[in-house]
Chains A and B, each alone.
Chain A
Amino acid sequence: MIVKTIFKNQNYQWLMFGRDLDKPEKVIDTNQYVVNTRHRALLIDPGGVELFTPMLASILKYLPIQKITDIFSSHQDPDVISSLGLWDKTIVKANLHAPWIWEGFIRHFGMDRIDYVAVPDEGGSIELDNCVLQIIPAHYLHSSGNLHLYDPEAKILMSGDVGAALEKPGEPLFVSDFDAHCEKMKFFHQRWMPSNRAKQYWIDQVRKLDIEILAPQHGRLFKGDDVARFLDWFEALQVGCAIPFDQPED
């Protein structure tokens, strides 16, 4: 599994974990993130059961397990959080920040020691030492209770499935040719995202943020001008393609 520092200052760092070449072939590749501050660490979308061992080994190369005090789950999908039952037995004590509507569902993955912090629909924040991360609502993108995480200091938006692409294993971490990358994102967004109205609302909110890196849960990350390019591309894309496009949305 590749680990890349995508932001670092004197107080904290953002680590990205992914491109695990040993993962089972039919398991979708995922990006996991850790925000590592002086005394604490936040594990973002920790991934599925199949990924637990390489994730654990990779994290322990950078920080002791006791530092993980918080976990963030953007939504309830198994590729995002099905490893929870294993983390629950590994982490000494932690809070899981996740959409309130999924509490009863996510608990099926097994939670004894970890506490569920039910994030309301309007979002919230997570404080780690002096680092404050904003929880941004992204409902219906694709999950009906979906959250993203924005760090105003690092200017990183962890965008869950928004910006995701289905790619071959071992692809580079960052988008280098935006136009070529669009083809890899198109079907994913058209099929997995259900609502054009939700999409437009999210774009309007996110355009107000100062973003240097857009970090999705699958595929490559967007940096610099590619962030705005992505928002324009996404705005123009009709989503919900499993229903014929001539059907009205509301």
Chain B
Amino acid sequence: MSDEIHNIRLNSEQFLTAASIAAEVYHAVNIAKQLSFTSINARVLAKHSGDTVLGFSELTKFIGYLATYMIDKANLINQLAIQLTNLTAQLYRSHNTLDNMQQAERKFENIEYIDSLNVSKQTLIKQIQHQHEDYQQLLKCLKQELDAVYRKIKSAELIAVMSRIETAEAPKNSSASFDEVANKIAQSGDTIMAHISRSLQLLSAIYP
């Protein structure tokens, strides 16, 4: 049983990963918040530009939805990352205690009551196994949530293209403003996508 425990050892990468993912998601959320403002401004602009940009107006609604979705999901991912960091610290403390117990057994001689540690050791080993199961479960949830966000943000690429098509229909006096909105949507989508991709890449190092 003890050998199995050693196979689920933690390393510094695991400590850093959850925190790094949380940081990436935090940056993505900031962009999503900007995107949300962009969608509101774009909707006002579309309203003033009349029927020629009706399609654009519909797109802004979807951009707003996408930004809200991103912010909600990011909160969930952040909670998972915090849970993961806490669990990693607990696992580290459990492993550390077990190591110290085993060192006491190995390094020192004539310890009359060494067997009295057996109950604590067995309890600790079971605890490590449970913590490890919870750890794997959390990694799985994190992966699912990041994948879901990634797929959703992918659709922003399509929106960016569509918004460019729609801006072609815009009145000449406001076409520059529509171009700017379309560019912002494209840029924001790319940046959010980059942060989520990095999160998935980080996660793959500890959850292949």
Interface residues of A (CB under 8 A from B): 52-54, 56-58, 60-66, 85-86, 89-92, 110
On whether the beta carbons of B93 and A85 are closer than 8 Å, the reply is yes
Which of B14-22, B110-118, B192-200 interfaces with chain A?
Answer: B110-118
Q: Can you name the residue of chain B whose Cβ is closest to the Cβ of A64?
A: B116
Q: Can you name the residue of chain B whose Cβ is closest to the Cβ of A87?
A: B97
Sample of 21 A–B contacts (CB below 8 Å): A53-B100, A53-B104, A54-B108, A56-B100, A56-B101, A56-B104, A57-B104, A60-B113, A61-B112, A63-B113, A64-B116, A65-B120, A66-B119, A85-B97, A86-B100, A89-B124, A89-B127, A90-B97, A90-B101, A90-B120, A110-B93
Once bound together, how far apart are the Cα atoms of A86 and B102, in whole Å? 13
Q: For chain A, what secondary structure do more than half of its interface residues adopt (helix, strand, loop), or is it mixed?
A: helix
Of A56, A60, A92, the residue contacting B119 (CB under 8 A) is A92
Q: Indicate whether B96 reaches chain A with its CB closer than 8 angstroms.
A: yes
On whether the beta carbons of B111 and A60 are closer than 8 Å, the reply is yes
Measured between C-beta atoms, what is the minimum distance from A207 to chain B in Å?
40
Of B96, B100, B107, B112, the residue contacting A60 (CB under 8 A) is B112
On whether the beta carbons of B114 and A53 are closer than 8 Å, the reply is no
Of A52, A53, A63, A92, the residue contacting B107 (CB under 8 A) is A53
- Specify which chain B residues have a CB less than 8 angstroms from the CB of A62 in the assembled complex: 112-113
Q: Can you name the residue of chain A whose Cβ is closest to the Cβ of B99?
A: A53
Measured between C-beta atoms, what is the minimum distance from A182 to chain B in Å?
36
- Specify which chain B residues have a CB less than 8 angstroms from the CB of A90 in the assembled complex: 97, 101, 117, 120
Once bound together, how far apart are the Cα atoms of A36 and B113, in whole Å? 14
Contact bitstring B134-161, A, C-beta under 8 A = 1, else 0:
0000000000000000000000000000
Using A52-B100, A53-B107, A63-B113 as known contacts, list a sample of 8 further A-B pairs with CB atoms less than 8 Å apart, ordered by residue number in A. Answer: A53-B104, A54-B104, A54-B108, A60-B117, A65-B116, A65-B117, A85-B93, A90-B120
Q: Indicate whether B11 reaches chain A with its CB closer than 8 angstroms.
A: no
- Specify which chain A residues have a CB less than 8 angstroms from the CB of B117 in the assembled complex: 60, 65, 90
Of B97, B108, B116, the residue contacting A57 (CB under 8 A) is B108
On whether the beta carbons of A60 and B97 are closer than 8 Å, the reply is no
On whether the beta carbons of B100 and A61 are closer than 8 Å, the reply is no
Once bound together, how far apart are the Cα atoms of A56 and B93, in whole Å? 16
On whether the beta carbons of B107 and A66 are closer than 8 Å, the reply is no
